[in-house]
A and B are shown apart, each in its own frame.
Chain A
């Protein structure tokens, strides 16, 4: 009979490979047999870490917690991660939404708010009293005279790139920076496109645009990807 769970030792620790076609109860039964010797081997001061790989099978939250309970129960074993080759469509869409750049072509007028998930490129101006909000970074091709709020859900690497020649407000996560220009009488020219970012001390800083690649080298790349498990 084909085994549904295989135990493998690698340099990163033990792995349990689960056959994607097997029934969950069979997997549990076989797993408990397999880890029996491991349980004895693992000492209290040095817990053994296990990674479970489920291939093209996706464990539900309930199945995950049952598996973890089985392995960690009365033992010094620890489940490091439950990994799968696949994700649900919901999660994939959510991830795609978070990392994709949204293009908006409009004027954001007083009282209006544009809110996007991920990064925002706004082609148009933000008028006083208008707000643009993104969970990622904000890039404005136009005048910023209202409020720009990047990293609205806590992403501290977010930046705001805009022409900061006018009175405006920039927020990154929950830090606020008020941009004030004494001579606001529109000069028309002398574009001051700069980048606002959150430094290591959590202080909002304004830098020339040329620094952006040093400050945020990862900007423009989709990094990390979607981690399963």
Chain B
């Protein structure tokens, strides 16, 4: 029996879809069987980032409305040996065609066959968000060091805490080392303390993320990339390993070490 994890943020553009693709990839590299579910119906992107756009035949709305079987709609990522799969969103429908009950039923079906089901939540807190949350066992909250993203994250924590999921786990994405070192943005410690949720990991901003996404190759496939390492560390923590937090700078290690060990 697998586990469904929703990846959400509230605000758009903080990297939910990129993170879903990369965490899926990183978990698959760890030998797990993963299904990614794109819930951004009407504005699907996850297929593009994974480079699977041209293979879509049926989508999630087809499955829910009975036009296709689940296994017909799910696309296999050929880069992996039966480990990474995608259930794409519909592009010609809107988020209200699915309700929470249908979503719970669908994810329960997926949980039977996969180790992890990662649900890519759309931005906002409307029906698409509610659907994504309804079926999840756990939540990963993506934010960036920007105050607007943090504000929305706070709102999302409040909403998620009211459900059976409880407190979401935090991922701080798109960290620009230099800005954080200069104190121009809130640092990791401050953000975590302010939101008062558990920190799952940090991902540094890197041009390669955009470059590889544009080619349809999630950056997590590259073992040497700094963003990729962030995602790989998060994947290992999801699997229960203890992995130290990446550092902004070597000499600052003791400080971050302290943060991680608390």
Question: Is chain B found bound to chain A in the same assembly?
Answer: yes
B190 and A109: CB pair below 8 A?
A: no
B190 and A110: CB pair below 8 A?
A: no
* B155 neighbours in A (Cβ, 8 Å): 109-111, 129
B154 within 8 A of A: yes
Question: Contact mask A108-131 → B, CB, 8 Å, 1/0?
Answer: 011110000000000001011110
* A128 neighbours in B (Cβ, 8 Å): 151, 154
* A112 neighbours in B (Cβ, 8 Å): 158
Q: Which A-chain residue is minimally distant from B152 (CB atoms)?
A: A110
**How far apart sit A109 and B161, CA to CA, in the bound complex (Å)?**
10
* A129 neighbours in B (Cβ, 8 Å): 151, 154-155
* B170 neighbours in A (Cβ, 8 Å): none
**How far apart sit A129 and B154, CA to CA, in the bound complex (Å)?**
9
A186 within 8 A of B: yes
* B190 neighbours in A (Cβ, 8 Å): 186
B196 within 8 A of A: yes
CB distance from B251 to the nearest CB of A (A): 22
**How far apart sit A111 and B153, CA to CA, in the bound complex (Å)?**
11
CB distance from B9 to the nearest CB of A (A): 13
**How far apart sit A112 and B157, CA to CA, in the bound complex (Å)?**
10
Main secondary structure of the interface of B (DSSP, over half): helix
With beta carbons under 8 angstroms apart, the residue of A110, A185, A186 that contacts B158 is: A110
* B158 neighbours in A (Cβ, 8 Å): 109-112, 130
CB distance from A189 to the nearest CB of B (A): 14
* B152 neighbours in A (Cβ, 8 Å): 110
CB distance from B103 to the nearest CB of A (A): 23
* A20 neighbours in B (Cβ, 8 Å): none
Q: Which A-chain residue is minimally distant from B183 (CB atoms)?
A: A185
* A127 neighbours in B (Cβ, 8 Å): 154, 194
Q: Which of B158, B159, B161, B190 is the most central at the interface, judged by chain A CB atoms within 10 Å of its CB?
A: B158
* A130 neighbours in B (Cβ, 8 Å): 158
Q: Which B-chain residue is minimally distant from A107 (CB atoms)?
A: B196
**How far apart sit A107 and B194, CA to CA, in the bound complex (Å)?**
11
CB distance from A162 to the nearest CB of B (A): 17
Q: Which A-chain residue is minimally distant from B10 (CB atoms)?
A: A110
CB distance from B139 to the nearest CB of A (A): 14
* A107 neighbours in B (Cβ, 8 Å): 196
Question: Contact mask A168-190 → B, CB, 8 Å, 1/0?
Answer: 00000000000000000110000
* A109 neighbours in B (Cβ, 8 Å): 154-155, 157-158, 161
**How far apart sit A128 and B190, CA to CA, in the bound complex (Å)?**
15
Q: Which B-chain residue is minimally distant from A109 (CB atoms)?
A: B158
**How far apart sit A186 and B190, CA to CA, in the bound complex (Å)?**
8
Question: Contact mask B140-165 → A, CB, 8 Å, 1/0?
Answer: 00000000000110110111010000
B196 and A110: CB pair below 8 A?
A: no
Q: Which A-chain residue is minimally distant from B155 (CB atoms)?
A: A110
Binding site for A on B (CB under 8 A): 151-152, 154-155, 157-159, 161, 183, 190, 194, 196
Q: A110-B158, A127-B154 are in contact. List 7 more A-B contacts (CB 8 A).
A: A109-B155, A109-B158, A109-B161, A110-B152, A125-B196, A129-B151, A185-B183
Between A and B, 18 residue pairs with Cβ closer than 8 Å are A107-B196, A109-B154, A109-B161, A110-B152, A110-B154, A110-B158, A111-B155, A111-B159, A112-B158, A125-B196, A127-B154, A127-B194, A128-B154, A129-B151, A129-B154, A130-B158, A185-B183, A186-B190
